[in-house]
Amino acid sequence: MAQGPDAPGWTPDEAALLGAADELYEDACLSERSWQALSQRFSEAQMMDVVFTVGAYAMLAMALNSFGVRLDAGLKGFARG
């Protein structure tokens, strides 16, 4: 996943989901291009679920970071980029 949606090996559906997650993280909004890519496979309700799921995980990360929650001993975190 760290290589992004353009990395080899992703199906078109997986690439569309990864790209959507990246856009939501970076811009807090999906482009028309992403909506179109998602609509090739997913229903309107499922596309809405993508937005809500990414948002919920972003909110959880904000809360955990703000509260100073640390990883369990022995776990390695993701590189920040």
What's the pLDDT tens digit per position in 42-80?
999 999 999 999 999 999 999 999 999 999 999 988 777
What's the pLDDT tens digit per position in 8-32?
999 999 999 999 999 999 999 999 9
In which residue are the tokens 């959507």 written?
20
Q: What is the pLDDT of residue 81?
A: 60
**Collapsed DSSP state (helix, strand, coil) of residue 79:** coil
CA distances to 28, 38, 72 from 10, rounded to whole Å, are 23, 14, 31
